[in-house]
Every structure is written in C-alpha cells, then in structure tokens.
Structure 1
Amino acid sequence: MSAENRQAVLYRMVMPQHVCPYGLKARDLLRRKGYAVDDHWLTTRAETDAFKAEHEVKTTPQVFIGGVRIGGYDDLRRHFGLKVRDPKAATYTPVLAPFALTALMAMAASYAVNGSVFTIRAGEWFIGFSMCVLAMQKLRDVESFATMFLNYDLLAKRWVRYGYIYPFAEAVAGVLMVAGALTWLSAPIALFIGGVGAVSVFKAVYIDKRELKCACVGGDSNVPLGFISLTENLMMVAMAVWMLAMPHSL
C-alpha cells in the first residue's frame, strides 16, 4: 500500500469518565504501522450506541482501512499478522517472571552486601525472595488459592484448612530465610510444605496423569501443574535441608 493510501479511520470511546484503553492501543498500533489515523471520538453513551447499531457491531473501538471495517483491537492485530493473546491459554509467564525478578533481586542484594552477585548467600536469598513473592500472589485471594489447591494437594484434601494456612506458612518461612533468623522454625516449615507439595504434584501429574492448573501464583492463573510446580517445591525442600545442614551460613 502506498504512503498516501495508508489511511485508517478509528472510532473509539472518549468520555469524561471513561477513555477506552483498547482505542488508545489501536491508535498506537496503527501509527506504529505507518498509518495516518482519522481519530473519531464517541463522546456519549447515546452516540456510542448509535454507532454500534449503524455498523451492526457489539463493541468499540472499530477500525476501518480503505473503507473496509477491520474490527476491534484484536482484529487489527490479526490483520497485521500479530499474535492475539488468549486469556484462557496455558502459560508459564506468571511464575517464570517472579523467579527471574527474585533472582535479580538476590544478586543485587548480594552485590550490595558482599560486592559480588555470585555468592552462596545470593542462592539462599533467591529461594527466600521467591517464597515471599509467591506467597504474596496467593495472599491476594486466599479463598481462590485454597479452592484451586484442593484439586491436587494431598493434605488439603484431608484437611481443608491447610489450604488457607499454606500461604501464611510460605510467607513466614520466606521472610525468615531472607533474614537468616529462626532457622529452627523456617527450615521445618519449608521442609514440610515443600515436601507435601512435591509429593502431591508428582502424584497428580506423573502418576494420575491429570491436567490441572497450578495454584502456585494464586487461584486465578493459567499456569499448568507440572515440572515447574514440582521444581518450586523441591527448591523449598533443598533450601530447608541446606539450612539444617549448614546453620552457620544463616
């Protein structure tokens, strides 16, 4: 398409109490693709409803290119051959992102204290920070976490209240690990919840062959229960054993 024909018409909601975020994203995408955007604002609910009725659409924004209606923001991404996120699709991002950030935090703390990013203490902090961040995700909605947790945790199935206690236990153990304090308390907690979790995940995934969602980052995630979930629990177990074997390091 020639430069003079790279024109797009965008209709989006811009009201005193609401500016459609997808309209802004559609305008940005069009401009990044080199289009001049004829930006039409729908400033009232009546105007928006009239536009929808006229074009027989259910949502705004709506994009037109060359007089042809492309559709909303997702349709525009498809038009340009871009990936459209499926909110129901399985993804490991919600757990990989915290692990990556806590690793960087641990190395940063190690550098600040010891002048080096690669230390034993950095590894210990990584586990502690990770437990704290994952516990925080669960504590956003304990009820939702406990419900998803019941799908596979062996102890929670026998004692439902364990699902409500788990996030607090994980947080306490994580904070104490970061502080290097009360090893006699933090290590047994981590060993217990990590051990039960590892056995539960292994049974559900590798023995029963069930396809479940992991509650590790809360009860609203699409993280598949599997190897990463098992690794998370084994990391807690390994850290607990390390703390008990090498208490002087803490």
Structure 2
Amino acid sequence: MPKTAKLYRMAMPDHLCPFGLKSKALLERRGYQVEDHKLTTRDETDAFMQEAGVDTTPQTYIDGDRIGGHDLLRSHFGQHVREEGETSYTPIVAIFTTTALMALALSWAAFDTLLTIRTLEWFIALSMTVLAIQKLQDVERFSTMFLNYDLLARRWVRYAYLYPFGEALAGVLMLSGTAIWLASPVAIFIGGIGAVSVIKAVYIDKRELKCACAGGDSDVPLGFVSLTENLMMLGMGFWMLLT
C-alpha cells in the first residue's frame, strides 16, 4: 500500500509558499503520494489555520498525525535542522572549495596544468578577495563583530572599518601581480595583527566568540578558521615580497 501524506500550503496568485514546495518535494523524495491542498486565498488560509489550531503554513499530516511545518517535517525524517545562532563551518568550506577550484581553473587556462606555484598564490589571493566581499556586504555588522577580539580595532575603531578594504586591495593586487610593494605590507600588517588577536582571544583568554572572517552575520566560531585566514595573508605577504 503506497504511503500517503496530506499537505496544506499557500498557493496564492501573488505568493507561492517556498516552504510548501520544499515540503512537497521532500515528501515525494521519501516515497509519499501527496494529497496536495492548495490554499489559494488569504481567507482560505486563515480559515484552515483556525480550524487546525496552527499559526503557520505549510502543515503536513502523515497517518492522521500532524507533523507540522517544513523544519518539523525534516526533523521527522531525521534530517538536521539548524537552529538560530548554531555554529557552522559551511560558509568557509564553500568559500575555500570554490576559490580552490577557481585557482585550479586559472592554472589550467594559463599553463595547461593544474598544480603550479601560481595555483597556490591564486588560491590565497582569491580567498582573500572573496572573504573581503563577505565583509564588505555589511561593514557595520562586520566591524561590530570584529571589535570583540581584534587588538588594534579595540584601540582604534576606524581600523575595523578599514580592514575589509585592505584585505580586498591586497588580494586584488596579488591576483594581478602588480604593486606588490603595497600589497605585501598590507597583507603582512593585517594578517599579523589578526593572527595575534585570534591567538590571544581563543587560545590564551579562552573566549568563545563568533568569527567575523565571513562577514558580520557569520556563525563560524572564532578559532582555527580565522587564524588560518590571517596566517595565509601573512605568509602570502612575505612570499610575494621575497619572490
């Protein structure tokens, strides 16, 4: 006997609920035949919520039992549901994976081979620029998070606003291979201060903080990732200055 589920979701002319679509797709992937009840007007939606005693849609029912909305449906099937404020390394993994692939692609296009010294240089420079973009999307929020731990920014607040511009400048110049006399000192300066700040905050003071490395709304924990970012900049600065 096929598994069946009832789904009540908003499908109005001016609003097609994305969570309703996600719930339907999830049920179908799990082998359920979905009895799809589309709520096509505001009055119809309000009447359903009042009758069902719920405050939101979509709502899923399996074997007569109400499962709830999309997050509860995911939990019902044993899938992880990220809670607000929960730490995650996903943004950093996505950034570093993408910049690594971009560096490999550039090396292949330029040298017909994947692994060269330039591949590593491009990877670090691309990572710097992409991380800078994350910060520059909302400099105000980045600066607020950055002030929690950066030693220089705590003494000179304006540095918290200048930092992402310096990271972007150094990354772009290193990608082009020009004005290294400027790019290298900037990378060494901000990378060195950043590394010392992270070591003090995390490994000496034992503070549990969020890292501003991926922007001001990041849930990445401060520690290894931020230290790696700063050491990459520091090392890249010295490398390009000396080569």
In the alignment, which residue of structure 2 is the partner of 1:12?
A: 9
Q: Shift of residue 242 of structure 1?
A: 0.5
In the alignment, which residue of structure 2 is the partner of 1:92?
A: 89
Other structure's SS at 2:66 match: strand
Separation in structure 2 between the aligned mates of residue 190 and residue 158 of structure 1, nearest angstrom:
20
Runs of 4+ in 1 over 3 A off after TM superposition: none
Separation in structure 2 between the aligned mates of residue 85 and residue 151 of structure 1, nearest angstrom:
24
Bigger mean CA deviation after superposition, 37-46 or 142-151: 37-46
2:149 to 138, 148, 152: 152
Separation in structure 2 between the aligned mates of residue 79 and residue 124 of structure 1, nearest angstrom:
46
Separation in structure 2 between the aligned mates of residue 218 and residue 82 of structure 1, nearest angstrom:
27
In the alignment, which residue of structure 2 is the partner of 1:37?
A: 34
Separation in structure 2 between the aligned mates of residue 216 and residue 68 of structure 1, nearest angstrom:
44
Separation in structure 1 between the aligned mates of residue 135 and residue 75 of structure 2, nearest angstrom:
34
Alignment of 1:159-238 (within 5 A): 159-238=156-235
Amino acid paired to 1:11 = Y
2:122 to 119, 125, 129: 125
* Per-residue Cα deviation, 1:36-94 (whole angstroms, up to 9, x for no partner): 11111111112111111111111100011122211111111222222222232101111
* Per-residue Cα deviation, 1:4-47 (whole angstroms, up to 9, x for no partner): xx111110001111111110000001111111111111111121
TM-score, normalising length from structure 1? 0.95
Separation in structure 1 between the aligned mates of residue 53 and residue 22 of structure 2, nearest angstrom:
22
Amino acid paired to 2:4 = Q
Separation in structure 2 between the aligned mates of residue 204 and residue 192 of structure 1, nearest angstrom:
18
Q: Where does structure 1 lack aligned partners over 5 or more consecutive residues?
A: none
Other structure's SS at 2:189 match: helix
Separation in structure 2 between the aligned mates of residue 133 and residue 10 of structure 1, nearest angstrom:
40
* Count of residues paired in the alignment: 243
Residue 56 (structure 2) pairs with residue 59 (structure 1): yes
Superposition RMSD in Å: 0.9
* Per-residue Cα deviation, 1:212-241 (whole angstroms, up to 9, x for no partner): 000001000100000111011001000011
Bigger mean CA deviation after superposition, 211-220 or 65-74: 65-74
Amino acid paired to 1:44 = T
Q: Where does structure 2 lack aligned partners over 5 or more consecutive residues?
A: none
TM-score, normalising length from structure 2? 0.98
> Percent identical across equivalent pairs?
65
Amino acid paired to 1:162 = Y
Amino acid paired to 2:190 = I
